[in-house]
């Protein structure tokens, strides 16, 4: 903490500096000057002031946690607002006009069915095709929120599906890790799936890689992911693109950790730790 509260004091005389410590971590410093006319604190005064500093360390820790929580809450509210904006845009600009046009064409087919049945049949065939495409679009919107397949086959089969799609696109992908996974918190499952999706897409589009390895590991408190490719890598003056920024946001959204190791011509390795938390209490499982 680097803050000063109240009216600045004159510390030209002897100043007592007491660290504000909580659980072996120094959070700041309490600076105290003797009263006017005194050059130093008495032994008893200093003893009491050290007790105060000990309690102030806990207060400083609580203050920092409160600020961290407020910042996390603001980030979550912002993410939810962006998601609502995206869904509204997809419904308003995509599905809305499509459904309105389908309704108009159904009315047209209704008028054609008696006098020009052949045209009506062609129009109805076209409408059936477009209706199926619209259903797929709705599924895509729902899938983006939470892939339904996570509830059935689960995370591991979905990751293998992502790998299979990458293989069909010409990238050799190997998946390593446990044969099965227990039921994981929904936030960790969705984040892991989306991260693997985004990472493989990134490798296919930008890395120029021949192969990619996806490794999963599970501990009591976290799901570990490692995605390693043999592509072009990032040079010293290159910044992370949209794909890596999206991955970082997903990791940070649930309090995880991301490390990126890369170099020009040396490929890229993403090392990710996603915490596993129980619903409702915020504690690690």
Per-residue pLDDT tens digits for 92-101: 767 777 788 8
Specify the higher pLDDT residue, 214 or 54.
214
Per-residue pLDDT tens digits for 112-170: 888 888 888 888 888 888 888 888 777 767 666 666 656 566 788 888 888 888 888 88
pTM over 0.85: no
265 CB-near residues (< 8 Å, 6+ apart): 232, 233
Tell me the C-alpha distance between 56 and 50, whole Å.
10
Q: Which two tokens stand for residue 161?
A: 């599906």
| pLDDT the model gives residue 240 | 60
Kindly state the average pLDDT of the residues 250-271. 84
| pLDDT the model gives residue 271 | 92
**Residue 9 pLDDT exceeds 60:** no
**Nearest-CA neighbor of 16 among 39, 25, 1, 7?**
39
- At 211, is the secondary structure helix, strand, or coil? strand
Report strand pairing: 172-176 vs 211-218. Answer: parallel
* Fold of the 149-275 domain: Heat Shock Protein 90 (3.30.565)
| pLDDT the model gives residue 282 | 44
Per-residue pLDDT tens digits for 185-212: 888 888 888 889 888 888 888 888 888 9
Tell me the C-alpha distance between 203 and 167, whole Å.
12
Domain boundaries, the chain: 149-275
> Cα separations (Å) of 263 from 82, 213, 268?
33, 17, 7
């Amino acid at each position: 903490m680097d803050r000063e509260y109240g009216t600045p004091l004159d510390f030209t005389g002897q100043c007592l500096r007491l660290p504000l410590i909580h659980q072996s971590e120094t959070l700041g410093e309490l600076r105290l000057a003797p009263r006017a006319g005194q050059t130093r604190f008495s032994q008893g005064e200093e003893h009491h002031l050290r007790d105060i500093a000990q309690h102030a360390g806990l207060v400083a820790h609580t203050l920092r946690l409160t600020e961290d929580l407020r910042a996390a809450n603001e980030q979550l509210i912002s993410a939810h607002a962006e998601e609502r904006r995206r869904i509204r845009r997809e419904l308003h600009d995509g599905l809305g006009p499509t459904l309105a046009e389908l309704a108009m064409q159904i009315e047209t087919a209704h008028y054609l069915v008696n006098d020009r049945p052949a045209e009506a049949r062609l129009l109805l065939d076209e409408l059936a095709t477009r209706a199926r495409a619209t259903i797929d679009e709705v599924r895509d919107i729902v899938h983006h929120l939470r892939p339904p397949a996570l509830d059935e086959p689960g995370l591991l089969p979905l990751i293998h599906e992502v790998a299979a799609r990458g293989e069909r696109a010409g990238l050799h992908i190997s998946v390593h890790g446990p044969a099965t996974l227990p039921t994981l918190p929904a936030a960790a499952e969705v984040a892991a799936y989306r991260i693997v999706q985004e990472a493989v897409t990134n490798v296919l589009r930008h890395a120029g890689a021949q192969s990619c390895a996806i490794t999963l590991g599970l501990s009591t408190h976290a799901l570990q992911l490692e995605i390693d490719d043999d592509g072009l890598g990032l040079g010293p003056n290159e910044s992370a693109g949209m794909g890596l920024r999206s991955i970082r946001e997903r990791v940070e959204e649930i309090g995880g950790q991301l490390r990126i190791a890369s170099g020009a011509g040396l490929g890229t390795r993403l090392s990710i730790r996603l915490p596993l938390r129980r619903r409702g209490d915020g504690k690690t499982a």
